[in-house]
Amino acid sequence: MSTDAIVLLKADHARVRKLFAQFQEAGKAATKTKGAIVDKILEELTVHTYLENEVMYPRVQQLLPALEEDVLESYEEHHVADVLCFELAAMYADDERFDAKTTVLIESVRHHIDEEENDWFPKVREALGRKTLQEIGAEMVELRKTAPRKPRQPSVLKKAIDAVIR
Ligand SMILES: [Fe+2]
Ligand SMILES: [Fe+2]
């Protein structure tokens, strides 16, 4: 199995996009279904964001200083998504703001994923090459085993608090 970091991250993106589509296709009254889909979205995003924050972004920052601005913008976009994820995790699916909040999460994450895939992943692939990307990917495969899976777990929450008070 390839451990190419970009291949792995794109596979995560594809799973998230599929869940987004399922949420949007669920009917207005399908509260239970939508609640279950959002649970899965939160889990996927928590793991994915963690792997990017802990491995992919720091490596890119270190190896490709020219991409510093892209990376910093991406951290901020993750932070916005994290906040929405924390709030959704504490909400019931029949809350009147549940669908609206999920829709804003979907829109902002889609924008973020598009930017990663269309803009900075190609630059990273060109600059780092296959071998380095496979090493970074192998690190992510390893870290995935112990990655937090729920937005409320302290390691993730702490990051958000640090980002706010820093
Ligand atoms: Fe990201
Ligand atoms: Fe991503």
Closest ligand, as measured to the CA of 74: 1
Alpha carbon of 1 to ligand 2 centroid (Å):
20
Alpha carbon of 104 to ligand 2 centroid (Å):
17
Phi, psi of 150 (to 5 degrees): -125, 140
The tokens describing 61, both together, are 């920052």
Alpha carbon of 109 to ligand 1 centroid (Å):
8
pLDDT reported for residue 2: 83
pLDDT reported for residue 165: 64
Alpha carbon of 138 to ligand 2 centroid (Å):
16
Phi, psi of 19 (to 5 degrees): -65, -40
Burial class (CB in 10 A: 0-12, 13-18, 19+), 8: buried
Say how many residues make up the chain: 166
Alpha carbon of 53 to ligand 2 centroid (Å):
10
pLDDT reported for residue 154: 41
The tokens describing 110, both together, are 């889609």
**Per-block mean pLDDT, blocks of 10 residues, the chain (166 long):** 93 98 95 97 97 97 95 94 94 96 98 97 96 98 96 58 66
